[in-house]
Structure 1
Amino acid sequence: MSAVISGASLPETPSVATGLDSARSRFALYLLLGFSAGLPYYMFSTILSARLAKHGVDLVLIGFFGWVQLLPTLKFLWAPLLDRFSVPGFGRFFGPRLGWIMLSQLGIFAAMVAMAFTSSDASLPLTALFAVLLAFWTTTLEVSADAWRIELAPTPETQGPLTAANLWGYRSAMVAAGSGALIVADHANWAWAYLVIAAGAFAPLPILATMRPQARAGRARGVALATGLGASAVILGLSLLLAAGVGALVLRAAAAIGISAKTDATTTVLVLCLLPFLIMAALLPRIVGLSAGAWARRSTMVGPYVDIFWRFGYKVLPLLAFVSFYRMGDVLTLALSKPLEIAAHYDLTTMGIADGFVALPSSMAGVALGAVLAVRLRLTRALALGAIGSALGNWIFVWLWFQPPSPHVIYIATALDQFAHGMEGAVFVVFLSMLVNPRYPGAQYAFLSGFAFLLPRLLAGAGGNIARHIGFDGFFWLSGGLSLAAVLFLPLIARVQPREEAA
């Protein structure tokens, strides 16, 4: 793996936007982009689970809502389109990457406002619809921002600072959304909580709008901007109709096969987790033997993903197995930490203070340490430290569960959880970025980061069932242990190197 993580095979990529030539300006940009992506994430994951729990929704159904987080896992389905196409109008006005980011910002704002006006959860399918849309536009923003980051910073030394900036912004926004929404909901209601965070999500948009990498005459700018706004309205409307149609089909299929709050989906989920590995193992012999001119390697939609398996060959299987386990603790903590805290009799304000004043500095310190470790140590060692920290971050909730409710208890648990997962996340982002072929930055990073969350998010959806059978304490013992299990794969991937095309 030394060749992969050294960045030696990645060519220097020029700055793609005027004004981003300095390290300081890029750092500031990724603070802002991280904030833009992190703010809505809590609102369709952790905050939504707290809202549903407060409304008395069954724990198993709350677990099912965790599958909304599967949408970012599936981002590889549309990521190649973001590499290939620009948003009409916005692409000419802002440039291709920033054009998609601006459209995503508008989608995030619209979806969050819709979640505010359906915050009574009187119709759970409607709640799910707008949560899916919020997840979709948040993920689209992340795909564009990640591709841009890889283009701007092709080596571990340049990736480290941008990764830290992105995660500082991301986790700061998650903390702000978590604490702000909970406190507002406790003193007003859930509708106001979502409206306040929607306003915060809109705030970065005017700042990003000042960045116009494409120099054009005044009239051409006006036409491009007007075209972009019109196209955005059409695209947002079509995404709503498509999500509603697909959602209706999924609900009908679930009802037809008898899935309900009483359904034990754990076995089904575990089978689904194995399917990607079985499919990949079956196709690998054919992929490894493909020539450079083969359709599967040249295709716009398939080629970037086939390239991953062609470059790494059979070693891609332990590599992806490691990737699947590494973020297990982080994802499963997000799924049930708030239901656990509510069941442990913590009020929303105390939870909000923990998610704000305690989580923010802890998370930023963890991200900073992770970025330093990724640059200063061999990545395999840094990854091992991250996995150990992640396990401890999960197991601290077992301690919280058995303690009498106290602000000090939840503050300590939150601090360790956020520090550990911040450190783990920073190391992991650098690691994944170094696996990417710079020819396909958006699509390949989308696939690798999405695949990393496939197994954890499938299990998160069954988390309610699992916790019902083994208790909250058993659930967090299990999730921490699964995250630590990633260390077992490190000896297998330590020397993985990509195959180069024959000259």
Structure 2
Amino acid sequence: MTADAAPVAPTAPATRLLLFALLGFSAGLPYYMFSTVLSARLTTHGVDLVIIGFFGWVQLLPTCKFAWAPLLDRFAVPGLGRFFGKRLGWIIVAQLGIFLSMVAMAFTSGDASLPITALFAVLLAFWTTTLEIAADAWRIELAPTPAEQGPLVAANLWGYRSAMVAAGSGALIVADHATWTWAYLAIAAAAFLPLPILTSMRREADGRGTRGGALSTGLGAAAAILGGSLVVVAVVGSVILGLANAAGVGAKTDATRGVLIVCLLPFVAMAAALPWIVRLPATAYARRSTVIGPYIDIFWRFGYRALPILGFVTFYRMGDVLTLALSKPLQIAAGYDLTTMGIADGAVALPASMTGVAIGAWLAVRLRLLWALAIGAVGSAFGNWIFVWLWYAPPAGHVIYIATALDQFAHGLEGAVFVVYLSMLVNPRYPAAQYAFLSGFAFLLPRLLAGAGGSIQKQIGWDGFFTLSGTLSLAAILFLPLIARASPRSDP
């Protein structure tokens, strides 16, 4: 086995399920901390809703994970790759990054400097996404068919969504009774817990050095990677903020029109490039390139049907993302306290979400995948529309609990079906890169719109916002006839 190989995978089905539940937990725990919980934190500190919407663009980082996913396919972390394998080596570095970023967010939780808040939120999003890239690639390598994917996807999403809602619930309750600093420190401690379990899955280092040498090299490499990511994010962030300030972007900025224009650009570019891509022979550099080859391969294999496929995946998770962006500001505006919101996100959301995931995975295996996708789209729409009722109903425990339960059940079901669908689109030769591209592109438009959510809400109100977001999710059904016969081609 080479240094670039993946760690020895568990062969027992139950062990694999536990592994991917743990990996889902590791990725899900920090997600709410740079999205939903952060929006609640900023709301309690009196930050304008438009600015809170801009913070939703932190979630664009997972959308751009195709930019560094090929590196995780090609390279192992020095030292850690020899001792743990390529996939697990990157997962361990990502876990360290998640823990340190969350601790930094804890000690800057007063939000006295919003650029500093944004810096550590972006770092947390980056390392969470890196963990997902490595875990998704490993899952696709182990399970090449829908029947094999279904159970692993369910286990992964059980871990992911249970950690996500538990973190959101726990953070809100701790913040209500203590401070936001303690809330983030508590979740940071929980995020560290999977690390010892994952590191116990070591394999023997190869014959090119001692075990101690591999580990010491790995720790040095991890420190360099973590430090380098901090510097890069700080520099790039300073440039972006400088450009935004020069352009006069602020709390009174209406970003909706600009966002919609940006969202159209990828589709225009892909449509223009497709006639050239579909004619490329197997020997063409663009198809063999390590950097762009995995992405060119998607469009070459599916041809012109790649456009409706990408249109479908763009709309499918729209409601989920937009709900995530503004559900907490809505609940605070409707008169709910953090503890009630935390109970809804924990005791109610967790069983509802896990039930939805289980049913979604079962539907993906038992039904024709297109029918399962249609059911998920309808459920997602109702999961958004229920917040219109919450807004108009007098504040009461049963109101927020019912709304949360339907929201989490619907989006859990939809998410499980969607992961199976995306996994089936991937060429097994490029699991990390292609899944990163497809899952990232799926959230590009939703997360761009989420960043403009504050501007949209101010124009159409809370009821209009959640009516619109549910309707956009339902619109994904219109693409199903166009993608029904989309099948990949292969070289002759």
**Scaled by the length of structure 1, what TM-score is found?**
0.96
What one-letter code is carried by the residue in structure 1 that aligns with 2:472?
Answer: L
Alpha-carbon separation, structure 1, partners of 2:17 and 2:141: 14
Alpha-carbon separation, structure 2, partners of 1:347 and 1:217: 58
Residue among 244, 247, 265 paired with 1:254 = 244
Residue among 242, 247, 263 paired with 2:253 = 263
What one-letter code is carried by the residue in structure 1 that aligns with 2:285?
Answer: W
Partner of 2:343: 353
Residue among 159, 165, 174 paired with 2:164 = 174
Partner of 1:9: none
Work out whether residues 114 and 130 of structure 1, in 8 Å CA contact, stay in contact via their aligned partners in 2. yes
Shift of 1:213: 3.2
Matches within 5 A, 1:310-459: 310-459=300-449
User: What is the aligned length?
Assistant: 488
Work out whether residues 7 and 88 of structure 2, in 8 Å CA contact, stay in contact via their aligned partners in 1. no
Matches within 5 A, 1:275-286: 275-286=265-276
SS of match in other structure, 1:247: helix
SS of match in other structure, 1:333: helix
Say if 2:94 is the partner of 1:104.
Answer: yes
Alpha-carbon separation, structure 1, partners of 2:379 and 2:362: 15
Shift of 1:141: 0.2
Work out whether residues 16 and 152 of structure 1, in 8 Å CA contact, stay in contact via their aligned partners in 2. no
Work out whether residues 34 and 166 of structure 1, in 8 Å CA contact, stay in contact via their aligned partners in 2. yes
The one-character-per-residue Cα deviations of 1:324-376 (angstroms, maximum 9, x if unpaired) are: 00000000000000000000010000000000000000000000000000000
Say if 2:96 is the partner of 1:118.
Answer: no
Shift of 1:218: 12
Partner of 1:165: 155
The one-character-per-residue Cα deviations of 1:203-253 (angstroms, maximum 9, x if unpaired) are: 000000000134558971111111111111111111101000000000011
Query: Compared with structure 1, are the counterparts of its residues 19 and 243 closer, same or farther at alpha carbon in structure 2 (3 Å cutoff)?
Result: closer
Alpha-carbon separation, structure 1, partners of 2:148 and 2:77: 29
Alpha-carbon separation, structure 1, partners of 2:469 and 2:386: 11
What one-letter code is carried by the residue in structure 1 that aligns with 2:176?
Answer: D
Say if 2:25 is the partner of 1:35.
Answer: yes
Query: Compared with structure 1, are the counterparts of its residues 19 and 384 closer, same or farther at alpha carbon in structure 2 (3 Å cutoff)?
Result: closer
Say if 2:200 is the partner of 1:189.
Answer: no
What one-letter code is carried by the residue in structure 2 that aligns with 1:98?
Answer: L
Work out whether residues 324 and 454 of structure 1, in 8 Å CA contact, stay in contact via their aligned partners in 2. yes
Alpha-carbon separation, structure 2, partners of 1:76 and 1:16: 20
Say if 2:143 is the partner of 1:153.
Answer: yes
Alpha-carbon separation, structure 2, partners of 1:364 and 1:17: 28
Alpha-carbon separation, structure 2, partners of 1:445 and 1:253: 32
Alpha-carbon separation, structure 1, partners of 2:491 and 2:465: 46
Partner of 1:240: 230
Indicate the RMSD between aligned Cα atoms, in angstroms: 1.1
Alpha-carbon separation, structure 1, partners of 2:206 and 2:175: 45
Residue among 18, 29, 52 paired with 2:8 = 18
Q: Which moved more, 1:196-205 or 1:16-25?
A: 16-25
Work out whether residues 358 and 415 of structure 1, in 8 Å CA contact, stay in contact via their aligned partners in 2. yes
Partner of 2:460: 470
Say if 2:68 is the partner of 1:78.
Answer: yes
Work out whether residues 31 and 169 of structure 1, in 8 Å CA contact, stay in contact via their aligned partners in 2. yes
SS of match in other structure, 1:56: coil
- Runs of 4+ aligned structure 1 residues displaced above 3 Å come to 15-19, 213-219
Work out whether residues 7 and 87 of structure 2, in 8 Å CA contact, stay in contact via their aligned partners in 1. no
Shift of 1:18: 3.2
Alpha-carbon separation, structure 1, partners of 2:399 and 2:210: 59
Instruction: Give the fraction of aligned pairs with identical amino acids, expressed as a percent.
Output: 75
Alpha-carbon separation, structure 2, partners of 1:218 and 1:495: 50
The one-character-per-residue Cα deviations of 1:475-502 (angstroms, maximum 9, x if unpaired) are: 0000000000000000000111111111
What one-letter code is carried by the residue in structure 2 that aligns with 1:185?
Answer: A
The one-character-per-residue Cα deviations of 1:124-168 (angstroms, maximum 9, x if unpaired) are: 000000000000000000000000000011100000000000000
Matches within 5 A, 1:288-307: 288-307=278-297
Matches within 5 A, 1:221-240: 221-240=211-230
SS of match in other structure, 2:202: coil
Shift of 1:177: 0.4
Shift of 1:19: 5.4
SS of match in other structure, 1:114: helix
Alpha-carbon separation, structure 1, partners of 2:248 and 2:110: 26
Shift of 1:398: 0.3
Alpha-carbon separation, structure 2, partners of 1:329 and 1:463: 12
Alpha-carbon separation, structure 2, partners of 1:28 and 1:215: 25
Shift of 1:17: 3.8
Alpha-carbon separation, structure 2, partners of 1:400 and 1:386: 22
The one-character-per-residue Cα deviations of 1:429-456 (angstroms, maximum 9, x if unpaired) are: 0000000000000000000000000000
Alpha-carbon separation, structure 1, partners of 2:222 and 2:7: 22
Q: Which runs of 5+ in 1 are unaligned?
A: 1-14
